Amino acid sequence: MLYKQDFYTWAYEQSNLLRQGKFNELDLPHLIEELEDLGNRHYDQLESRLTQLVAHLLKWQVQHWKRTNSWRATIRVQRTSIDKLLRRNPGLKSRLDEAMTETWSEARDLAIAETDLPDEQFPEKCPYTLEQIMNAEFWPEQY
């Protein structure tokens, strides 16, 4: 089957069939799967960016003596990228709370690994609200 052997050609053929209105010739099961996957990729990108952002906010707060311009830049870039992603995909806004819940432990683990500080130095629950996380003026104070 072309879908498994040559995805590029399959996708190109499917788009041509759509343009030509030949809906009965479409590979609907795989087309549906790919559309769902495309949506999931945007959600995965949101989670990834939130993980990086929250991990750097934690590092900023917990390891304040090592604050760098690189950390500041990462925080700013991730906030901007998340804003852009949400503007381009407004449906993701309804999943922000879910994404925060799913990324918290990963963000915490990342901050722990990158700082080499004991786990106990990091809160068990996210200390920031979503509004704080996305606020360009928010910079956590040291613990």
Handedness of CA 37, 38, 43, 47 (dihedral sign): positive
Whole-number Å distance between alpha carbons of 104 and 9: 39
Q: What is the mean pLDDT of residues 44-62?
A: 97
Alpha helices in the chain (DSSP H): 2-5, 7-19, 28-62, 69-88, 96-115, 130-134
pLDDT at 143: 63
CA distances from 18 to 4, 13, 33, 48, 142 (A): 20, 9, 16, 33, 56
* pLDDT averaged over every residue in the chain: 95
Residue 1's pLDDT is 83
The whole-model pTM stands at: 0.84
Q: What is the pLDDT of residues 73-127, one digit of tens each?
A: 999 999 999 999 999 999 999 999 999 999 999 999 999 999 999 999 999 999 9
Q: What six digits make up the tokens of 105?
A: 């432990």
Residue found by looking up tokens 């996305």 in the block = 134
